[in-house]
Amino acid sequence: GAFDLVIRNARCATAADVFEADIGIRDGVIAALGRGLAPGREEIDAAGRWVLPGGIDGHCHLDQPTSDGSRMADDFLTGTRSAACGGTTTVLPFACQIKGQSLRAAVDDYHRRAEGKASIDYAFHLIVTDPTSQVLGEELPALIREGYTSFKIYMTYDDLKLADREIIDVLAVAREHGAMVMVHAENADCIAWLTERLLAQGHTAPRYHAQARPMLVEREATHRAIAYAELVDVPILIVHVSGRETVEQLRWAHGHGLRIYAETCPQYLFLTAEDLGIDDDDRHGAKCICSPPPRDRANQQVVWDGLESGVFQIFSSDHAPFTFAGPQGKFAAGEKASFERIPNGIPGLETRLALLFSHGVETGRITLQQFVALTATNVARMYGLYPRKGSIAVGADADLAIWETGLSRTIRNADLHHGVDYTPYEGIPVTAWPALTLSRGEVVWRDGQYLGTPGRGEFLRCVLPEPARPKSRPENDTSWRS
C-alpha cells in the first residue's frame, strides 16, 4: 500500500554508511529506502539535510525517588518532551531498587511513573542495590527474561553501594543469564575519608565536591571493577568516565583482551572543576555538582581523544535533574548546606546531541558515522534494542532526526523543555540542532515546536545485549566449561 509518510532527498548517515535516499514510512516503520519512491499521504522534503537515527540516551534519571528531601525536576512527561526537542527518540532511565524493596516492586513502580506520560519510547535499566539470594536467584533472572537486560551497580553512595562480594555475585548472574552490567566506579571509603577531612577544615562550599572525589578514586574503583569482570569472565560497561586515569585503565583492559565497554557524557567535554565555583562564596557551583566531577581542560582533551579512538562506545547525558532554586532542589538540605548534602546530578537530555554534533562532527574531531554510533547505534546494540532502534534500515522503527546545520546559536535554558531552572551549558555556542524529530513516524518536534503526546511512548523490552552473547570457542578447548 501507499506510504503514510515519505521523507524526500534525505542525506542519511548510519554508523556505517552515508547515502542519499527517500525514506518511505508505513505504520511507524521504515518500509522502503530508495530513489523516486511512490507518493506518501504526507511528504517532508529534507532537501539535502542530514537525516540521522534519532538519539538513544542510554543513561538518564527520570522521576527517580531520592532519600534526602530533594526531588527530581523531570518526570516522564517533561523528560521525554525535552529529549524529543533535542532529537532523542528513545530513553533508558533507571528503575532503582530501594534497599529492602524487591526488584519487582521497583519495576512496577517505574512503570506507573512512565505510564501515560512518556511521549517517546523507553526501556528500563535496573539498579540493583540489595542483591539478596531471592533477588539473585529468582527476581533478576526472571526480569532479564522479561526484557530488562541491563542493570547498574554502584560502588559508592551509602544508600546504593554494593560490597565487593555483592558486585561479584551480581556479575555472575549477568554472565549466567545474559545481561549488561553498568558500573558506577568510585571508591566510597576514599570519598568518605576526604569528605570528613574537608568538613573538619570548614571546607563546605560546592567546589569542595571535586576535591572529595579526585580522579584516583575513580581510577581505583574502575580497576577493581575490571578485575572482577575478568574474574567472572563477563563484559561490563563503565559509566560516566571523566578523564585520563580511567581511560588508562580502559586501555589497559583492552590491551589484555578484556571486554570492558565505556560511556562518557557532555559534562566531561564541556565543564571543568572550576564550574563548581572558584571561591567559597559561589553557591552557583552547585549547578554543576555531579559524580564523578568534571576535571580540567587536559582531561577534556583525553575524553575527546577517547571518543575519536574508540575507547568509548556510548555518549549519554546522565541527565539527573535538580532545580537550583526551590525547596526540593540543589539546596533541599538548606541554603548553606555543605557540598556533600547537595544532590548529585545535572540536566542534559536535550543538549547532548547538539553539543556533540556541533563540537565533535562540525569541527572534524569525529566523523558523522562515529556520532551516530556513539549516540544511537552502539547504545541499541549494547542494551538489546538493535535492530529495532538505532539505525536507518528497512524494518527499523521510523525514529529519525532531521538536522539543521550552519546555525550560530548559543544554548539558553529559556529555549529548553525540561523542568530544570538552569542548564550547565548556558552560553555555549552550537552550530547544529534537529529541526524535526520523528518517533515511529510521528512528528514530535518541528521548527521549534513540541508536538508530542504524553502516553504515546511505548515501553520496550530489551533482548540479549550483543556483548553478552555466548562466544564461540575452539572445538578442542573445553577448559571454559569448568
User: Which run of H or of E encompasses 243?
Assistant: none
Shortest Å distance, C-beta 284 to Zn ion? 3
Query: In the chain, what are the helix, strand and coil shares in percent, each to the nearest 5?
Result: 35, 20, 45
Nearest approach in angstroms of CB 186 to ligand URP is: 9
Could you tell which of ligand URP, Zn ion, none binds residue 166, using a CB distance below 5 to 8 A set by kind? none
| CB nearer ligand URP, residue 41 or residue 99 | 99
Under a CB-based contact definition with an 8 Å cutoff, are residues 237 and 182 in contact? yes
16/236 Cα distance (integer angstroms): 24
- 104 or 284: CB nearest Zn ion: 284
Question: Considering only residues 216-255, where is the footprint of ligand URP by CB under 6 A?
Answer: 240
At its nearest, how many Å lie between ligand URP and the CB of residue 160?
Answer: 8
Q: Which residues contact 382 (CB under 8 A, 6 or more apart)?
A: 58, 150, 180, 237, 261, 313, 314, 465, 466, 467
Q: Could you tell me where the DSSP H helices lie in 179-214?
A: 188-200, 208-212
**Residues 273-292 contacting Zn ion, CB under 5 A:** 282, 284
How many angstroms separate the first and last alpha carbons of the chain?
A: 55
CA-to-CA dists, residue 440 to 5, 89, 121, 122, 387, angstroms: 11, 9, 9, 12, 14
Map residue 263 onto helix, strand or coil: strand
Query: Which of ligand URP, Zn ion, none binds 284 (CB below 5-8 Å, type-dependent)?
Result: Zn ion
Q: Whole-number minimum distance, CB 59 to Zn ion, in Å?
A: 5
In the complex, least distance from residue 344 CB atom to ligand URP, rounded to whole angstroms? 3
When CB distances are held under 5 to 8 angstroms depending on the partner's kind, the choice from ligand URP, Zn ion, none that residue 282 binds is Zn ion
Contact pick of 66, 149, 264, 291 for ligand URP (by CB under 6 A): 291
Residue 344 contact, options ligand URP, Zn ion, none, Cβ 5-8 Å cut-off depending on partner type: ligand URP
Least distance (Å) from ligand URP to the CB of residue 448?
29
| Other CB atoms within 10 Å distance of the CB of residue 74 | 27
Site for Zn ion in 305-324 (CB under 5 A): 318
- For strand 88-91 and strand 40-45, is the pairing parallel, antiparallel, or unpaired? unpaired
Residue span 115-154 as binding mask against Zn ion, x where in contact by CB under 5 A, dash where not: ----------------------------------------
**Interface size with ligand URP, residues (CB under 6 A):** 9
- Residue nearest ligand URP, CB atom distance: 344
Looking at the Cβ atoms of 125 and 440, the one nearer to ligand URP is 125
Q: Among Zn ion, ligand URP, none, what does residue 290 contact (CB within 5–8 Å per kind)?
A: ligand URP
Tell me if 344 contacts ligand URP by CB under 6 A.
yes
Asked if 379 and 390 count as a contact pair (C-beta separation under 8 A), the reply is yes
Could you write out the DSSP letters of every residue in 99-122?
TTS-HHHHHHHHHHHHTTT-SSEE
Which is nearer to Zn ion, 92 or 460 (by Cβ)?
92
Q: Is residue 290 a contact point for ligand URP (CB under 6 A)?
A: yes
C-alpha grid cell for residue 75?
A: 518526570
Determine phi and psi for 29, rounding to 5 degrees.
Answer: -120, 150
Task: Report what 375 binds from ligand URP, Zn ion, none; CB cut-off 5-8 Å by kind.
Answer: none
Q: Which of 49, 113, 117, 184 binds Zn ion (CB under 5 A)?
A: 184
Dihedral pair phi/psi, residue 173, rounded to 5°: -65, -40
**For the packed helices 164-177 and 215-232, what is the interaxial angle rounded to 10 degrees?**
50
Query: Which residues of the chain form contacts with ligand URP (CB under 6 A)?
Result: 61, 184, 240, 290-291, 318, 320, 344-345
Query: Which residues of the chain form contacts with Zn ion (CB under 5 A)?
Result: 184, 282, 284, 318
